[in-house]
Amino acid sequence: MAKAFSEFRPLDETSLIDYIKSVPSLCSRLHNNLNGLEIKEVGDGNLNFVFIVVGSSGSFVIKQALTYVRSIGEAWPMSKDRAYFEAAALKKHGHLCPGHVPEVYHFDHTMSLIAMRYLKAPHIILRKGLVAGIEYPLLADDMSDYMSKTLFYTSLIYNSTTEHKQGVAEFCGNVEMCRLTEQVVFSDPYKISEYNRWTSPYLDSDAAALREDEALKIEVAELKSLFCERAQALIHGDLHTSSVMVTQESTQVIDSEFAFYGPMGFDVGAFLGNLILAFFAQDGHADEENDREAYKGWILRTIENTWNLFQNKFIALWDQHKDGSGEAYLPAIYNSSEIQQLVQKKFMQDLFHDTLGFGAAKMIRRIVGVAHVEDFEAISDASKRAGCERRALQLAKLLLKERRKFQNIAQVVSAIKQGK
Amino acid sequence: MAKAFSEFRPLDETSLIDYIKSVPSLCSRLHNNLNGLEIKEVGDGNLNFVFIVVGSSGSFVIKQALTYVRSIGEAWPMSKDRAYFEAAALKKHGHLCPGHVPEVYHFDHTMSLIAMRYLKAPHIILRKGLVAGIEYPLLADDMSDYMSKTLFYTSLIYNSTTEHKQGVAEFCGNVEMCRLTEQVVFSDPYKISEYNRWTSPYLDSDAAALREDEALKIEVAELKSLFCERAQALIHGDLHTSSVMVTQESTQVIDSEFAFYGPMGFDVGAFLGNLILAFFAQDGHADEENDREAYKGWILRTIENTWNLFQNKFIALWDQHKDGSGEAYLPAIYNSSEIQQLVQKKFMQDLFHDTLGFGAAKMIRRIVGVAHVEDFEAISDASKRAGCERRALQLAKLLLKERRKFQNIAQVVSAIKQGK
């Protein structure tokens, strides 16, 4: 049976059962009871098959990487090695933050396949909850937990250079995913590209203006260089609101196939930028029953709390481990609480500005680039949708160009409110 | 015979002959005439044996990496894998700039040994020429050539992300050399360290002041992070004036065992910072016959010309290859000569400030750290030496803390003159 899967082949509901039978650890996860397995393919992403496997005595999810971008077809080939890096990042981040990362049960390099914990109902994709107007009281606390732990513990503040460069070298192999991000986030929105689309004709002139905005394009070049060159921590690499599954009691981060050693602000910015998109989409979801004003307030509080909690937790980890084996800030040099606070303040200020820049770039690409977000797509009235998108776009351009003028997240929230 | 060298062992003048006999390419380099070979060990560095091998029909240099820092002894172990990275960088940089990098004839990983072109007399170490007060009319032109080509052609301005990350991953292996730099450049000078030394008692309070200078230590932390995290180009990694051999007609860069993908400014800064050290040492070399004033003028012109030529050549390479396969600045985005010039100006301004910061850090560590420079060591009067060193140290602190206020190299030269 094992021989049948000695070469890569895409699985379907039928061959998946044969596959499971050939892997003892998966069988035992089902207590060897494979009768009446329910298998459902639910991949709504672009890059993978995702099978939910539920038996009478156990369950898991099987995610298999495909060799092309599913929504575009075989014209856009993708390395299936990304499954290796997704599994590696899930394991590493899961070790650092087990409460918010699903456990990996099994990884098969040949088949580009990961078996992991099935996040049962009522878990839904956070973005769908945001479109539906559902508040998640733990979200800011949980996501700040996830980001502070995964980023701090994979940085040089915590690790030796030797450990760090080992990780950097390994994840250099995930270069195809990095190149995809470079293209869709930092390049395509600022040039004519066959993949770009926007709410036309309403945003035609807005999209054209981006391509002519010299100040913006100069800042985008700097962010792109940071993304390509700065190995600051093992980042998730695609931390938008569809990479998070939630219930009222649980927050789980999935889909880390873009993981590599990059700038921390790319993760924090992705999450906050997508919350800002959710905010600007709310007017398009408002109706006579619900004007969404209260919900917009919750989103803004969540943005503010996420950053402030992240900052506090990151610094708390730093203080906790300041005499550890991290090599960036030796205690013999940063040897008083005064200078410790000064370097921490500078670090967080720089990270804050990176976060705003990357977050804004992620917003822009969701409005004029290849991949759009359900937040806006769910607004059926194109004119109304374009209005929401334009306000988000204006705010994103401001954040990207003027990010260094913002001192704290409260000022960003004020700017979002003014852009309403 | 080959079997004798199947494991690492340090060579001496006798065993080296057996080694040469066992390597056909070395024998043929000598036209198989090994009678009357002259062999001289000339390593004045800390880390290696260097044998000059001269026969009647050919010559070469054999450099063998040792497993400890020679000046400190076996207490400071060093990976001999650095010979691999030195050979790899010599080959890569030699390919990009053959006029200023000696040719590699042979590399032996097991023996941590490189055979390369012997740079015959009158080639001397540039630093010795600077101490002797010798002008090198080609120096600025040649070094700007070397730095612009090696840095541009190994950056993302010229290369695809795929090529870049392959290089980054490979040179992550040279981590022990990176850690040595981190320690001696960015850490030891700012803390109590058994390896630190300075011209005592004259500079005791200057050294103590460095350890208490909060503004300085905050800037040093930022530079250290850039050094550890920013994979901008394949840099030489140790480009001081003892890594350059010169005659009136030739400029050759050697000793690239610290090479890795790091910030470009670390190379440019190392070279300019060591020229600034040479400037401040001149008053200590002045005597009744030669007040060294004319020579100081030549050093300042060389500093100014090196940066300006480097900047012009780097931008010329960028213009020449702007429609190539480099992925940092796509021509479809940076699509007019106006925006092309704007991004180039911003890039060079950032690189200039990195250069000043790293250059200053390299100056400081040569005055209060473990490894000093002959420029100052050759001044036998300790009081006079300390005076020269203090003026260099003051200028370095200014450059490091205020580097972003300098707009161009002429302003730096003015500051050097004022520090005289």
Give the up-direction half-sphere exposure of residue A250: CA atoms within 13 A in the CB hemisphere. Answer: 17
A99-125 mean pLDDT: 97
Structure tokens at A47: 């890059």
pLDDT at residue B45 tops 60: no
Q: Which residue has the tokens 């020429």?
A: B129
Distance from CA of A29 to the nearest CA of B (A): 37
Measured CA to CA, the distance from residue B130 to residue B126 in angstroms comes to 6
Residue B46: predicted pLDDT = 64
A300-325 mean pLDDT: 97
Q: Which of A350-364, B28-42, B305-319, B341-355 has the lowest mean pLDDT?
A: B28-42
Residue B70: predicted pLDDT = 61
Cβ distance of A221 and B329 shorter than 8 Å: yes
Distance from CA of A272 to the nearest CA of B (A): 24
Q: Where are the beta strands (DSSP E) in A132-239?
A: 233-235
pLDDT at residue B1 tops 80: no
Chain A residues touching residue B182 (CB < 8 angstroms): 161, 327
Structure tokens at A274: 């997508």
Measured CA to CA, the distance from residue B179 to residue B163 in angstroms comes to 25
Contacts of A389 (CB under 8 A, 6+ apart): A198, A199, A203, A280, A367, A376
Q: CA of A331: which chain B residue's CA is closest? A: B191
pLDDT above 90 coverage of chain A, percent: 91
Q: CA of B341: which chain A residue's CA is closest? A: A218
Q: HEC string of B34-78?
A: CCCCEEEECCCCCCEEEEEEECCCCEEEEEEECCEECCCEEEEEC
Strand order in the sheet with B38-41: B38-41, B48-54, B59-65, B113-116, B104-108
Return the percent helix, strand and coil in chain A, to nearest 5.
Answer: 55, 10, 35
Nearest to B175 among A162, A175, A179 (CB): A162
Distance from CA of B35 to the nearest CA of A (A): 46
Chain B residues touching residue A231 (CB < 8 angstroms): 229-231
Residue B420: predicted pLDDT = 66
Chain B residues touching residue A235 (CB < 8 angstroms): none
Cβ distance of A191 and B221 shorter than 8 Å: no
Measure Cα distances from B382 to B193, B377, B390 in Å: 22, 9, 12
Residue B43's pLDDT band (boundaries 50, 70, 90)? confident
Cβ distance of B161 and A172 shorter than 8 Å: no
Measured CA to CA, the distance from residue B76 to residue B67 in angstroms comes to 9
Q: CA of B338: which chain A residue's CA is closest? A: A214
**Domains of chain A in sequence order:** 2-116 (3.30.200.20), 124-418 (3.90.1200.10)
- Condensed to tens digits (0 to 9), the pLDDT of residues B257-293 reads 999 999 999 999 999 999 999 999 999 999 999 999 9
Cβ distance of B228 and A156 shorter than 8 Å: yes
Residue B3's pLDDT band (boundaries 50, 70, 90)? low
Residue A5: predicted pLDDT = 86
Cβ distance of A229 and B224 shorter than 8 Å: no
Adjacent-strand bridge partners of B244: B253
Cβ distance of A179 and B327 shorter than 8 Å: yes
Number of Cβ within 10 Å of residue A249's Cβ equals 11
Cβ distance of B328 and A217 shorter than 8 Å: no
- Condensed to tens digits (0 to 9), the pLDDT of residues A57-89 reads 999 999 999 876 666 656 666 777 899 999 999
Chain B residues touching residue A179 (CB < 8 angstroms): 160-162, 327
- Condensed to tens digits (0 to 9), the pLDDT of residues A24-41 reads 999 999 999 998 999 999
- Find out whether B169 and A260 touch, Cβ atoms under 8 Å: no
| Interface predicted TM-score of the whole assembly (ipTM), two decimals | 0.95
Chain A residues touching residue B228 (CB < 8 angstroms): 156, 161, 164, 327-328
Chain B residues touching residue A333 (CB < 8 angstroms): 187, 190-191, 211, 217, 220
Nearest to B161 among A175, A221, A339 (CB): A175
Closest listed residue to residue B374, CA positions, set B299, B307, B277? B277
Q: Which of A63-67, B356-360, B374-378, B394-398 has the lowest mean pLDDT?
A: A63-67
Residue B47: predicted pLDDT = 75
pLDDT at residue B202 tops 70: yes
Residue B30: predicted pLDDT = 96
Q: Which residue has the tokens 């094992």?
A: A2
pLDDT at residue A334 tops 90: yes
Exposed / middle / buried, residue A357 (Cβ in 10 Å: 0-12, 13-18, 19+)? buried
pLDDT above 70 coverage of chain A, percent: 96
B233-237 mean pLDDT: 98
In this structure, which amino acid lies at residue A48?
N
Q: Which of A11-25, A71-85, A188-202, A236-250 has the lowest mean pLDDT?
A: A71-85
- Condensed to tens digits (0 to 9), the pLDDT of residues A11-22 reads 999 999 999 999
Chain B residues touching residue A211 (CB < 8 angstroms): 333
Residue A66: predicted pLDDT = 83
pLDDT at residue B198 tops 60: yes
Average pLDDT, chain A: 95
Distance from CA of B150 to the nearest CA of A (A): 17
Closest listed residue to residue B344, CA positions, set A17, A340, A22, A222? A222
Chain B residues touching residue A154 (CB < 8 angstroms): none
Residue A79: predicted pLDDT = 78
